[in-house]
Amino acid sequence: MSKHFERALVIGGAGFIGSHLCEHLLGQGTEVVCLDNFVTGSPDNVAQLAGVPEFRLVRHDVTEPFRVDGEFDLVVGLASPASPRHYLRLPIETLEAGAFGTRNALEFAEKHSARFLLASTSEVYGDPTEHPQRESYWGQVNPIGPRSVYDEAKRYAEALTAAWFRSRAGDVAIARIFNTYGPRMQADDGRMIPTFIRQALAGDPITIQGDGEQTRSVCYVDDTVRGLVALAGSGHPGPVNIGNPHELCVREMAEQIRDLVGSASPIRHEAAAVDDPRRRCPDISLAKESLGWEPRVSLWDGLTRTIDSVRGEPIAAGR
């Protein structure tokens, strides 16, 4: 049975996934303190929670030591630029978030005897030679390429969290999050789905980097958050893949979004990004067996909700 948490510190909680996690935890009766420096996150993402008595927003950079009053039994480390546009603009800050930020979060969790959940990424697998990717796969990452600032920040954060578990018996868990999408993604952050939606809605050419045959496996944010909460409450140390095993190529994704929007946007190809993975798909056997978790939201439903949110239309409950 999954553990119920009384009070959680969500670091990076004003970001895309973090804001949805804050909402989910509050809905489960958990008091939430959201800590964010707003470098890539935004207070707007949690503005709907401003009047909730059990929610508190604190502006702070996790790479600097911090104190938050009260007791906590869950600490979630989500703080990091996550889109290529952001981490390429903030390379040093991204590496410091993985290193100093994770260290400070681990020390805070240890002080409070709290469970620590690290939000890692499928990027630790790099351009994989194993397919689909299992947690036992070590990955193939260029340690000095432009993407390395994010890949290696997360790989180091995992190594530090695992060392904390071994040397200090820390109550920790590592989640490897695969491509996640949904409402509150920044339309201009360079990630595939919000970019395609914005271009299709405007009638602009939909730009695909490379030939479009590279694959991705995308997971709707509600499913990702359920997976994170299941892992946090399980006692499992991880790493555990949290993602959707439904794989499709980038060209197919662009065409589906164009069709759902009802756009006549042409598709235009650009040069491929450096070190862009050719295939990306999680093996979620461990999540199914250990957490009882798997995605529920279909691609059509998730994309429809996301497009509606970009248009500013209300999202129907239960859709």
Spatial distance between the Cα atoms of 309 and 304, rounded to a whole number of angstroms: 9
Q: How far apart are CA 59 and CA 195, in angstroms?
A: 28
Structure tokens at 96: 């410091």
CA distance 120 to 177: 6
What is the three-class DSSP state of 121? Answer: strand
311 exposure class (CB count in 10 Å sphere: 0-12, 13-18, 19+): exposed
Catalytic hit among 150, 156, 181, 220: 150
Edge-to-edge strands, sheet with 74-77: 55-59, 31-36, 7-11, 74-77, 115-121, 172-177, 240-242
125 is catalytic: no
- The answer to whether the CB of 62 falls within 8 A of the CB of 21 is no
Q: Which residue type is seen at 85?
A: R
Specify whether the CB–CB gap between 263 and 198 falls below 8 A: no
Helices (H), the chain: 16-27, 84-89, 91-96, 102-111, 148-168, 192-202, 221-232, 250-261, 285-286, 299-311
Q: Indicate which residues carry an active-site annotation.
A: 150
